[in-house]
DNA sequence: CCAAAAGTGTTGGCCCTACACCCATGG
DNA sequence: CCATGGGTGTAGGGCCAACACTTTTGG
């Protein structure tokens, strides 16, 4: 892959970054998987988007690079949530062969640092670098290489904690104008439970940073829903107030 | 350090594990630092207990090895909380020289995986492998190598979140029999705020897994306090019930 | 008897939950 | 006019915070 000895273009074959990019498609929580073509076979297998880091690349920068290569997105909040380093990660020789082939490097052991994001499905641009990407329901994952299944399970647990502590990430996911229903469905799918409609309305109206607009959703075969927007300034004002107590 | 090519005794010079071992001493939150002797000088400097991992060593196993080498403890709950991999970690040449000297390996870039634990101060046994260890108040840290100051700051934020989600870790820290005061002081020091005595008593009595014993603390120049114990079975029973809803 | 810490209840506010009906729109 | 989802209020319970006095012990 690399063509020079410039450390910015030289891979560091000991540490990788994998991104668990979550999104919602057909009312299901999905994860973005990229195709992995095994040399010499015509099977198509899937894996988490990820890559070895470069010699002088920061972990966060590597995660944003992978995000961008896989989706075309740039400013989605990404969270490092755990590192996986079991020596048995590379127990499957087929996985190692594939990686050695893809990186042109001799691979021994690899520690991977896992990142998490909530992404808009629609904005997805298919990357030509790592093969096409595909949203796959969490509930119907194919067999994945290394410990990617374990990483995804940890990510699903983690995003709920993250969303509890930093509700703004859900607004990066939604369009600028959204209805309370869209917001509620998003929560329901991420937490995998039903949420009471009235209580949810009350809650959102009490927050202060979810504000009504005068616009409504048109063309629905039922009463039209009001659009709301996320007030980022108010959100950060409230957050700072809490932190300084 | 290593003497053979056995992978169990060969260091993997790309990934290290650092442990932020927190404890309470003189009513202050402290972190365990180990001495680092710089070759050729008689200065004594300090660092977090940590080490490169071995070729075939799991990250968690490395963390427990470091815990044991630094304190003699074996079964303290350790939590991986973040990895640090800025290429600028190794910007200070003195730090790199020291590490190369200590490991007898050429060091380029290192990613470190940071772990956290709450340890009993009293049980501390001084390790002879990495030099003596010393409890140092968080509020008065010396200059530390690499990004150890940043790692400690992240650990202090993290332990509060961890304790909120997994209250049992505080009972691993306390003696088997403890008074409500001891428990409360522990919380006060970790969260760095005062806690109302009556409310705290009520709360602990309502939990179900903090149970009275018939024993009392003797020899105090004031009314003697009742000892309580942690009911581990009840704790896990309640925890499972919550998770299955 | 004094100092020092142990222990104990009540109240109000906030937030969460449960719960049922009318409204607006497109077809 | 009907099907579909949009939108609304109240009451009860649990948890938290604030707050002051009596009890026990050793010296």
CATH number of B168-243: 1.10.10.10
Residues of B in contact with A82 (CB under 8 A): 80
- Tell me how far apart the alpha carbons of residues B132 and B62 are, in angstroms, rounded to a whole number: 19
Do residues A135 and A29 make contact, with C-beta atoms less than 8 angstroms apart? no
Nearest by CB to residue B109, choosing from A12, A85, A108, is A12
Give the pLDDT of residue B129: 58
Q: Which nucleotide has the shortest C1'-to-CA distance from A216?
A: D6
pLDDT band at residue A129 under the 50/70/90 scheme: low
Q: Which residue is nearest to nucleotide C17 (CA to C1')?
A: A199
From the centroid of its chain, how far is CA B175? 17
As a three-state string, the secondary structure of chain A is CCCCCCHHHCEEEEEEEEEEEEEEECCEEEEEEEEEECCCCCCEEEECCEEEEECCCCHHHHHHHHHHHHHCCCCCCCEEEEEECCHHHHCCHHHHHHHHHHHCCCCCCCEEEEEEEECCCCCCCCCCCCCCEEEEEHHHCCCCCCCHHHHHHHHHHHHHHHHHHCCCHHHHHCCCCECHHHHHHHHHHHHCCCCCHHHHHHHHHHHCCEEEEEEECCCCCCCCCEEEEECHHHHHHHHHHHHHC
- Span B155-177, mean pLDDT? 97
Give the pLDDT of residue B91: 87
pLDDT in tens, A2-61: 445 666 689 999 999 999 999 999 999 999 999 887 666 677 889 999 999 999 999 999
Number of inter-chain CB pairs under 8 A, A vs B: 56
CA of A11 to C1' of D4 (A): 55
Q: Evaluate if residue B127 carries a pLDDT over 60.
A: no
Q: Which nucleotide has the shortest C1'-to-CA distance from A194?
A: C17
* Cα Dmax for chain A: 63
CB contact under 8 A, B15 and A85: yes
pLDDT in tens, A166-188: 999 999 999 999 999 999 999 99
CATH number of A11-148: 3.90.79.10
pLDDT band at residue B1 under the 50/70/90 scheme: very low
- Tell me how far apart the alpha carbons of residues A244 and B214 are, in angstroms, rounded to a whole number: 43
* Chain B interface disruption, residue of A12, A59, A83, A112, most B CBs within 10 A: A83
- Span B11-21, mean pLDDT? 96
Q: Evaluate if residue B123 carries a pLDDT over 60.
A: no
Give the pLDDT of residue B122: 67
pLDDT in tens, B42-100: 778 899 999 999 999 999 999 999 999 998 899 999 999 999 999 988 889 999 999 99
Nucleotides of D under 7 A from a protein CB: 3-10, 15-20, 23-27
Do residues B141 and B49 make contact, with C-beta atoms less than 8 angstroms apart? no
pTM of the predicted structure, to 2 decimals: 0.93
- Span B126-150, mean pLDDT? 84
Chain B residues 84-113 with a CB less than 8 Å from chain A:
84-87, 108-109, 111, 113
Give the pLDDT of residue B83: 98
Residues of B in contact with A87 (CB under 8 A): 55-58
- Tell me how far apart the alpha carbons of residues B9 and A125 are, in angstroms, rounded to a whole number: 46
Q: Which residue is nearest to nucleotide C26 (CA to C1')?
A: A221
Nearest to A115 by CA among A164, A158, A74: A158
Q: Evaluate if residue A128 carries a pLDDT over 60.
A: no
Give percent of chain A above pLDDT 90.
76
Q: Evaluate if residue B240 carries a pLDDT over 50.
A: yes
- Span A123-130, mean pLDDT? 57
Question: Where in chain B are the domains?
Answer: 11-148, 168-243
Between strands A79-84 and A111-118, the pairing is antiparallel
Q: How far is A61 from chain B (nearest CA, A)?
A: 9
Nearest to A37 by CA among A101, A90, A89, A92: A101
Count of positions (residues) in chain A? 245
Q: How far is B87 from chain A (nearest CA, A)?
A: 5
Residues of A in contact with B15 (CB under 8 A): 14-15, 85, 111
Structure tokens at B203: 């709360």
Cβ burial of B109 (10 Å; 0-12, 13-18, 19+) is buried
**Helix runs in chain B, H state only:** 59-71, 93-103, 148-165, 169-173, 180-191, 197-207, 232-244
CA of A221 to C1' of D1 (A): 14
């Amino acid at each position: 892959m690399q063509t020079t000895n410039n450390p910015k273009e030289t891979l560091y074959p000991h540490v990788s970054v994998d991104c668990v990019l979550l999104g919602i498609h057909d009312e299901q929580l999905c994860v973005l998987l990229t195709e992995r073509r095994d040399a010499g076979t015509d099977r198509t297998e899937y894996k988490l988007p990820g890559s070895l880091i470069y010699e002088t690349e920061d972990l966060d920068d590597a995660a944003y690079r992978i995000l961008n290569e896989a989706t075309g997105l740039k400013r989605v909040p990404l969270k490092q949530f755990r590192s996986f380093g079991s020596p048995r990660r590379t127990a499957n020789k087929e996985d190692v062969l594939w990686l050695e082939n893809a990186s042109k490097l001799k691979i021994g052991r690899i520690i991977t640092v896992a990142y998490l994001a909530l992404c808009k499905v629609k904005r997805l641009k298919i990357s030509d670098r790592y093969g096409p990407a595909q949203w796959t329901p969490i509930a119907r994952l194919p067999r994945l290489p290394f410990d990617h299944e374990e990483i995804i399970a940890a990510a699903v647990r983690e995003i709920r904690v993250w969303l509890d502590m930093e509700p703004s990430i859900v607004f990066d996911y939604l369009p600028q104008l959204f209805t309370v229903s869209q917001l509620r469905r998003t929560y329901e799918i991420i937490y995998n439970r039903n949420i009471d409609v009235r209580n949810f309305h009350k809650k959102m109206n009490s927050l202060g940073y979810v504000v009504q607009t005068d616009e409504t959703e048109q063309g629905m075969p039922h009463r039209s829903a009001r659009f709301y927007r996320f007030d980022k300034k108010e959100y950060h004002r409230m957050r700072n107030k809490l932190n300084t107590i």
